[in-house]
Amino acid sequence: MNGQAVAFFALAAVGLLGVIGFLRAPRILHAVLALVAAFLAVAGLFVLVGAEFLAAATVLLYAGAITVMAVFAIMLTPGGEEKRGAPRWARGARGWAGLVAAGVGAAVATSVLATPFQRSPYAVDGPTDTALLGTLLLSDRYGLHFEVITLVLLAALVGAIVLAREEAIPVRGGARAPDATPPTPPPAPQKTPAALREPTADGPAPEAPAEREAERELVGAGRGDGR
Amino acid sequence: MIWLPEAIVLAGALASLAFGVLGRRSSPRAAMDLALVFTLAALLATAALAGTVVEAFAGAFRIDGVTLSFQLLLLVGTALTLLLAREDVGAPAPATGGAAPSGGVPAEHAGEYAGLLLLAALGGMLIAAAADLLLLFLGFELLSIAGYALVGFRKEDPLSTQAAVKYVLTGATATGVFVFGLSYLIGLTGTTDVYAAGEVIASPGFMERYGRLIFLAFLFLFIGAAYKIAAFPFHLWAPDVYRGAPTPVTMFLAVVSKAAGLALIVRLYLGAFAWTHWVGASGLRESFLLKSGPVVALVSGFSMVLGSVLALRTRDVKRLFAYAGIAHAGYLLVPLAAANPSMLDQIVFYLLAYLLASAGAFAVLRRVTEESGTSDLKAFAGLYHRAPWSAWALLLFFLSLAGIPLTMGFFGKWYLLVGAAWGGHGLLATLIVVTSVMSYAYYFAVLKQAFLRPGSTERPIRFRGAEVAVVLIAAAGVLLGGLLPGEVLRTIAQAFDAAHFFGLYDGRL
Amino acid sequence: MTDGMLVGLLLFGALLFALGLYGALAQRNAVRVLLAVELMLLAGGLNVVALTRFLPAGAENRRLGPLPLAGDYAAALGQTTTLFFLAVAAAEVAIGLAAVIAAYRLRPTPNVDEMDERE
């Protein structure tokens, strides 16, 4: 058993333990930490196959960015781990999910084992020149992909901001905000005017958009100051 | 400039986003109008490319019959969606106050609403134009990610935001499955070009060695892509998401997303897999189609049956559209399962019929749910008395969707039937007939409410201008396709002159 | 890289994928589901890198012609592919977490199964 094999088995073991820890940990923060170990192990495997830049990217993106984002989301959504009891359908669902996952894993694994791989004479060992990766990313073909991935990230950025941003309370139906002066901000969301609004014959009472806009901004500013 | 349509849509998306930030003080609907203008310009630019077969970006980007017909479908669907979405901006919250499948999006997000709709459409167009596995995947992701955000745009309503969560989680899982399949296909063939991958698969000795893994890759890719058209294994997201999303977004998912998903399946399946032949170990000629056909038929059959059965049991019209959409996804896969020379014509014709009828029905549905604050069947009660012309239009759209003679939908189903019989798939043909009869039942349940049941109020419903426009365009299309199906089919078939799509296998390779 | 190494990496990838799939299907917490999906994506990335390093299909292709720099090119191609997978994974997590936060604001639970509609 040479050094490479030892490294592979060590990293695979760490990765496996990390994933199992992620799946089994009762507290979600522990689960995320275990997952970081798995991500780092995969980064190690990338180094082992000569993908050094990719290893660095994995550490930055997965172990860094994604995990931090997840921790933020967990902090912003407390209370999920308190109810330990399984929901009524969960037992069955877990068994079912385990069956599907085991079946898929077994199918892939047996196919891999049954395949007589043949190493191409062109194949090279050793780390890949990162400059080649850069050239490829900006080549005729993959330059287009590079442009498209920026659009994917743009869509994710815009979408995430729209979804996650806390809105100024929209004030509707022409009613005045309860208290529009900044020093005493109105309390947290409550269905003031919207619920009281009388449905009229043809939809909403037409109102000047500018006026509505101004109201919303006042309320928004009030909340902003209050925080 | 063969990428002009994409460039126009991209420019429209960026302009709408910028407008949302800078031009907020003026009318928020102007952002939607801006997006609509760009979409129509892209439509013209796409139509101007008709008949060209050309590649760009070192073969990653390909314009041919498939690209252009799917792009036209996507752009028409997007334009109709934008018309409906225009009415959504700044529309009041539902009268009921709490969770309800109606209500508009906040006016201050008009720019983002239009921009994300166009980005999603751009993703679909890239799928249609991609001859590269990675580009297909990236277009798929652009469409999905913009879609996730769009579903959650009614931020004050728990139904909408929870629908977004469900859509993201299901979609991400499907992406994981798709990526895993993609990794084996790219890794084993050593190329990201769809047709080059097909060529490697067909090269001597390759399938003997790696056949099992390639077949697994096909399974993963197909199942991952089936999510986008809401076909069986990944269909369960559809009802909740359709119900929670703003109605125009529901229409976008039902129409544009489905067309784009189908473009993905067509390009991937026909480009890399189905048409590959090789000489097997026994010296016999083998083809991938024989191996993959049963899988496609299975997915198609299950989708048809499950969608129809579930649609019979629901009382919510938006959910009904979701279940019916699952069944329609099944129909759309029939030509691929029963491979025959004109299968692309059949798919595009059926998609066009489905697109037009769905768009019209969603326009009526939107007004009705806005009026009543619910999408329960009962919301349609008395529609005939409240807005007679819209009830007649709804009748036309449902007849087309169900496939009653003299509508475009009937001819769509008829071509599918002929194709299935031609391909020797008697069982699939039977399933089409059986599930169509079931669809009469669930569509009739809505019509019964609209025509026969008295509503709680006789107050006339006033449709907004854009909604009327969508209904009129859709009705004209459905009637035209129903009266002149031959002409429409011939126009479509011209785009699929065999040289366009399959010529690759004769000339260049 | 030896045959054994390739098979080992592919098996590890399959294991990661299966465990990720199990997590995605069985977990209740939306954040956990998203992270489980990341495992599935990472498994795909590992597969591509391992396979292109090994280059099973040779380095020539009639449609694209002989590949420049053969082996190195293929390895770089695989890594580029994985880079795209990584970027997409990050985008999905961002939008997914944003959706979770938006839903949580209206109904404070991060658990998917509690998000069912109450009609």
Distance to chain C for A56, nearest Cα, Å: 11
Q: Does the CB of C88 have a partner CB in chain B at under 8 Å? A: yes
Test B57 with A195 for CB contact under 8 angstroms.
no
**pTM of this structure:** 0.89
Torsion-angle region of B193 (φ positive above 0: left; ψ -120 to 50: alpha; else: beta): beta
The whole-angstrom distance between residue A192's C-alpha and the CA centroid of its chain comes to 34
* pLDDT tens figures, B391-429: 999 999 999 999 888 889 999 999 899 889 887 888 999
Mean pLDDT for the stretch of residues A74-85 = 66
Q: What is the pLDDT of residue A201?
A: 40
* H or E segment to which residue B54 belongs: strand B54-56
Q: For residue B117, give Cα distances in angstroms to B322, B378, B469, C65.
A: 20, 31, 19, 39
Whether residue A175 is predicted with pLDDT greater than 60 in this model: the reply is no
Q: How far is residue A115's CA from residue B413's CA, in Å, rounded to a whole number?
A: 43
**Which whole-number Å values give the CA distances from B367 to A216, B83, B251, in the listed order?**
27, 13, 13
**Range scoring the smallest mean pLDDT among B96-100, B118-122, B354-358:** B96-100
Q: Which of A91-103 are b and which e, b meaning 16 or more Cβ less than 10 Å from the residue's Cβ?
A: eebbeebeebbee
Average model confidence (pLDDT) across chain B: 87
Give the pLDDT score at C59.
59
Write out the two tokens for B467: 């909604």
Which tops the pLDDT comparison, A151 or A123? Answer: A151
Q: What is the ipTM of this complex?
A: 0.93
Phi, psi (5° rounding) for residue B467?
-65, -40
Check whether domain A1-76 has CATH 3.30.450.260, yes or no: no
- The token pair at A37 is 């170990």
pLDDT in tens, B155-202: 888 888 889 999 999 999 999 999 999 999 999 988 898 988 888 888
Q: Is A203 left (phi over 0), alpha (psi -120 to 50) or beta?
A: left
Task: Please give the residue range of the domain that contains residue B93.
Answer: 4-508
Strand, coil or helix: A78: coil
Residues in chain C within 8 Å Cβ distance of A44:
none
pLDDT tier, B214 (very low <50, low <70, confident <90, very high otherwise): very high
Q: Is the pLDDT of residue A183 over 80?
A: no
CA–CA dist B118, B138 (Å, integer): 15
Which parts of C1-119 are beta strand (E)?
60-61, 65-66
> Who wins on pLDDT, B282 or B45?
B45
The angle formed by the CA atoms of residues B64, B67 and B70, to the nearest 5 degrees, is: 140
Give me the domain span that covers residue C109.
3-115
Residue A217 has pLDDT above 60, yes or no: no
What residues does B105 pair with on adjacent strands?
B89
Tell me which residue of A169, A155, B161 sits closest to C100, measured CA to CA.
B161
Condensed to tens digits (0 to 9), the pLDDT of residues B247-301 reads 999 999 999 999 999 999 999 998 888 777 787 777 778 888 888 889 999 999 9
CB contact at 8 A, B142 and A188: no
A111 in B contact zone (CB under 8 Å): yes
CB pair distance less than 8 Å for B176 and C17:
yes
CATH number (domain holding residue C46): 1.10.287.3510
**A20 and B CB contact within 8 Å:** no
Q: What is the pLDDT of residue C116?
A: 54
Burial tier of C68 (Cβ tally within 10 Å: 0-12, 13-18, 19+)? exposed
Residue B216 pLDDT > 90: yes
Report the domain count for chain B: 1
Instruction: Give me the torsion for CA of C21, B293, B333, B63, rounded to 10°.
Output: 90
Q: How many residues does chain A have?
A: 227
Q: Quick one: pLDDT at residue B115?
A: 95
Give pLDDT tens digits for A10-27.
999 999 999 999 999 888
Tally of residues, chain B? 509
Q: Which chains touch B (3 or more CB pairs under 8 A)?
A: A, C
State which residues of chain C have pLDDT below 50.
117-119
Chain-chain contact of B141 with C92 (C-beta, under 8 angstroms): yes
| Domain regions of chain A by residue span | 1-76
Residues 25-84 of A with CB under 8 A from B: none
pLDDT for residue A219: 39
Amino acid B4 reads L
Mind telling me how many Å the CA of A74 is from chain C's nearest CA? 7
Q: Which residue of chain B is at minimal alpha-carbon distance from A174? A: B92
Six token digits for residue A104: 């898929």
Q: Which residues of B327-359 are buried (b: 16+ CB within 10 A; e: fewer)?
A: bbbbbbbbbbbbbbebbbbbbbbbbbbbbbbbb
Has residue A113 got a pLDDT over 90? yes
Percent of chain A beyond pLDDT 70? Answer: 67
Range picked from B79-88, B454-463, C63-72 for highest mean pLDDT: B79-88
Q: Which of B438, B399, B398 is nearest to B313 (CA)?
A: B438
Interface test with B, best of C12, C34, C46, C61 (most B CBs within 10 A): C61
User: What three-state secondary structure class fits B193?
Assistant: strand
Distance CA B114, CA B91 (A): 15
Say yes or no to pLDDT of A199 above 60.
no
How far A177 CA lies from chain C's nearest CA (Å)?
21
Nearest to C99 among B99, B152, B159 (CB): B152
Tell me the β-bridge partners of C61. C65
Number of domains in chain C: 1
- Look at residue A186 in the predicted model and tell me its pLDDT: 42
